[in-house]
Structure 1
């Protein structure tokens, strides 16, 4: 396929448009679109199957991250108020919740474990970065990040579609190699 408009131009225009989505009064994290946009290509490229996997996995990851923040807010100083004591509690919380996340990935619906980690990281960055329509509110942050992550596969699809790909006529020339051949 040959693109009528270079993908680099289309993707850059779409990337610029995220400023209008995130730069609103809702304080949404525009970079969360980029994370799931890249995740779409890492998972095989824009398709409904890939989008469905990400749309299931990323909110699950964000949910596990929200749970870590919630539990840490309630018992984070259980071992004391020193940084070491709080880090030890946090490490135990992460151990338990991350184990649950990993086991959840064994189910078919949530099998895209890297997608769960993209959602996981997106939630932490949104919460601790002060983003969301109500920064600091666990659920508002979750809604904000999940909504923005959901746009990534859409932007990935648009970046391909708006390049207006068209078939290239077959020629008699051999195709250029896509990888370096093994040295014999």
Structure 2
């Protein structure tokens, strides 16, 4: 296939549109599209099966991250108010919830564990970065990041289609030339 428009241009035009999607009054995280866009190519490239795997895994990963933030907000100071005590509690929360995330990866629908971690990281960046249609709201951050992550596989698909590829005729293979025997040389 030959591209009529270079992939670099098609992908850059799509990337530029994310500013309009994310830069709205809803304060959506435009970079979340890029995370799942890249994840689409890492998981095998744009196709419906790859998109579905990401559409299951990434929201699940974001949900586990939401659970960590929620739990930390409610019991994060149970070991004390000092930084080390709060970090110890956070470490325990992460240990437990991340273990559940990893075991959830044994389910067929969530078997794309890297996809869950892309959603996991996307949620933290959305929540702690102040993104979402209601800043500081756990659920608004989750809805916002899930919506934006869902667009990544769509952008990956469009980045190929917008090159307007055309089929190129196959060139026939040329038969190998007959090897020419070189005259033997006498060693002196």
Q: What's the TM-score bracket when you normalise by the shorter of the two chains?
A: over 0.9
- For normalisation by structure 2, the TM-score amounts to 0.91
Q: Whole-Å Cα distance in 1 between the matches of residues 109 and 133 of structure 2?
A: 29
Q: Whole-Å Cα distance in 1 between the matches of residues 2 and 78 of structure 2?
A: 60
Structure 2, gaps ≥5 residues long: 175-188
* Deviation, structure 1 residue 172: 3.6
What pairs with 1:20-169 in structure 2 (closer than 5 Å)? 20-169=20-169
* Deviation, structure 1 residue 34: 0.2
Quote the residue 1:178 is aligned against.
Answer: none
* Deviation, structure 1 residue 166: 1.4
- For normalisation by structure 1, the TM-score amounts to 0.93
Q: Whole-Å Cα distance in 2 between the matches of residues 44 and 2 of structure 1?
A: 20
Q: Whole-Å Cα distance in 2 between the matches of residues 107 and 165 of structure 1?
A: 37
* Deviation, structure 1 residue 62: 0.2
Q: Whole-Å Cα distance in 2 between the matches of residues 95 and 49 of structure 1?
A: 31
Structure 1, gaps ≥5 residues long: 175-184
Where has structure 1 moved over 4 Å in runs of 4 or more?
Answer: none
Q: Whole-Å Cα distance in 1 between the matches of residues 79 and 173 of structure 2?
A: 70
Q: Secondary structure at the match of 2:145?
A: helix
Q: Whole-Å Cα distance in 2 between the matches of residues 52 and 90 of structure 1?
A: 32
